[in-house]
Structure 1
Amino acid sequence: MDTVFFDLDGTLTDPKIGITGSIQYALGKMGLPVPTQDELTWCIGPPLRASFVALLGGEDADRGVELYRERFGTIGLFENTLYPGIADTLTAVTAPGRRLFVATSKPHVFADRIIDHFGLRKYFTRVFGSELDGTRVDKSDLLRYALDETAADPARAIMIGDRKHDIIGAANNGIPGIGVLYGYGGREELTSAGARHLVASPAEIPGYIN
């Protein structure tokens, strides 16, 4: 493979505390019942506004996103941990003539800060994320843009992610997908979405990239 796209949340890092804590903050500010963090893990991975639509309905979703970012942009994005072995995995995947990219529905203004915070910049040619206004929040749109920007051959690329959005977005652009079981999607979700391979740990990823 010449081009490897990595999802961020649930694939490179475990963002549970920061994401769910910021959703709790937003709901609390709106005077609404606040679920536990475990009850909000389904929000990790899908586009944020879509999660707030599911939680609040369309009319209040934008306000929910605004309040979420109020906390996430200063505190929540650092309430995050690298999955064990990720640095070793990225080192193993790195090879002459191969480019690694981040492809996340998270706004790139946040994703870039997270990549720098964990010292991962040296592995990635570029971080692709959405805009704050929601442009390219859909993984299909994001990966189409990334392919155009990088002039990558989708037949020589692969997408690695933990949710169906990663696998489906890749397939819609002719890119095969590897599903990671240590994130937030699970075996059934990733298999149904069409993942070519499933891995239980970051250490298994290099074996499927040739």
Structure 2
Amino acid sequence: MRYQYLLFDLDGTITDPKVGITTCVQYALEHFGIHEPDNDKLEPFIGPPLQDSFEQFYHMDAETAKQAVAKYRERFQTVGLYENEIYDGMADLLKTLKEGGCRLAVASSKPTVFVKKILEHFDVAQYFDVVVGSELDGSRTKKEEVVQEALRQLDPKGQASSGQMVMIGDRCFDVQGAKAHHLDSIGVAYGYAAEGELQQAGATFVVDTVQQLKELLTR
């Protein structure tokens, strides 16, 4: 196989979390008297750290954004977490890679505790050697930091070459996280990137479907 160490983003890459994430953002915004009925407008929240998104898209200061994140999680941890679907063919791809001797990691900006619950919910947790997300206290939210920790756990002795590793994700943040550590990146256009976002970020490859991703990884 082309790569032996594979880091996967979660949202928009392994699963489609749109309903859960956007509905929880709506819930948080309502707390501040902001009514946003169109959850399509909230798709940019899928991928980057929540705190950054509330600050950027709704011009909240850091403290208000922190409160918005807490409100978001109030609903997400019990309901929104499971308003989610695994992409068709993804479980089979993960199984194929694992059986082929690859080491797999999840590198997500979502808190690790939620990432693990989602992987277990979709019965794919067994395919991952390492699961790294952010912390609930707001630390390790940047993708470069997440990738760094995932690499440390995936290859603790530092024996693998960067050419054996790849980051797979649907947003520019995943590509940037890979670049920060001199890794190849595969952008998955079936996720939530804007038109041309992955190419502009400099993804090594861009695929349109899970099947194309499988063909690239297993050839």
Indicate whether the TM-score tops 0.5.
Answer: yes
**Pair 1:57 & 2:60 matched:** yes
State which of 113, 123, 130 in structure 2 corresponds to 1:126. 130
| TM-score, normalisation: structure 1 | 0.95
- Range that drifts further, 89-98 or 75-84: 89-98
| TM-score, normalisation: structure 2 | 0.91
Whole-angstrom distance in 1 between the partners of 2:70 and 2:95: 37
**Share of identical aligned residues, percent?**
44
- Range that drifts further, 186-195 or 107-116: 186-195
State which of 72, 83, 86 in structure 2 corresponds to 1:82. 86
* 2:13 alignment partner in structure 1: 11
> 1:158 is aligned with what amino acid?
V
What SS does structure 2 have at the residue aligned with 1:106? strand
What SS does structure 2 have at the residue aligned with 1:184? coil
> 1:42 is aligned with what amino acid?
P
| C-alpha deviation, 1:153, in angstroms | 3.5
State which of 172, 176, 199 in structure 2 corresponds to 1:164. 172
- Range that drifts further, 52-61 or 17-26: 52-61
Asked if the contact 1:147/1:153 (under 8 Å) is kept, the reply is: no
> 2:150 is aligned with what amino acid?
A
- In structure 2, runs of 5+ residues without a counterpart are none
- Range that drifts further, 42-51 or 88-97: 88-97
- What is the root-mean-square deviation in Å for CA atoms of aligned residues? 1.4
* 1:98 alignment partner in structure 2: 102
Whole-angstrom distance in 2 between the partners of 1:92 and 1:199: 18
| C-alpha deviation, 1:154, in angstroms | 2.6
- Range that drifts further, 152-161 or 171-180: 152-161
State which of 11, 31, 34 in structure 2 corresponds to 1:32. 34
| C-alpha deviation, 1:35, in angstroms | 4.3
> 1:162 is aligned with what amino acid?
D
**Pair 1:73 & 2:77 matched:** yes
Query: Number of matched residues?
Result: 210
Whole-angstrom distance in 1 between the partners of 2:194 and 2:54: 22
Whole-angstrom distance in 2 between the partners of 1:174 and 1:207: 23
State which of 165, 176, 180 in structure 1 corresponds to 2:184. 176
**Deviation by residue 1:77-122 (Cα, 9 ceiling, x = unmatched):** 1000011111122123224442011110000010000000000012
**Pair 1:147 & 2:151 matched:** yes
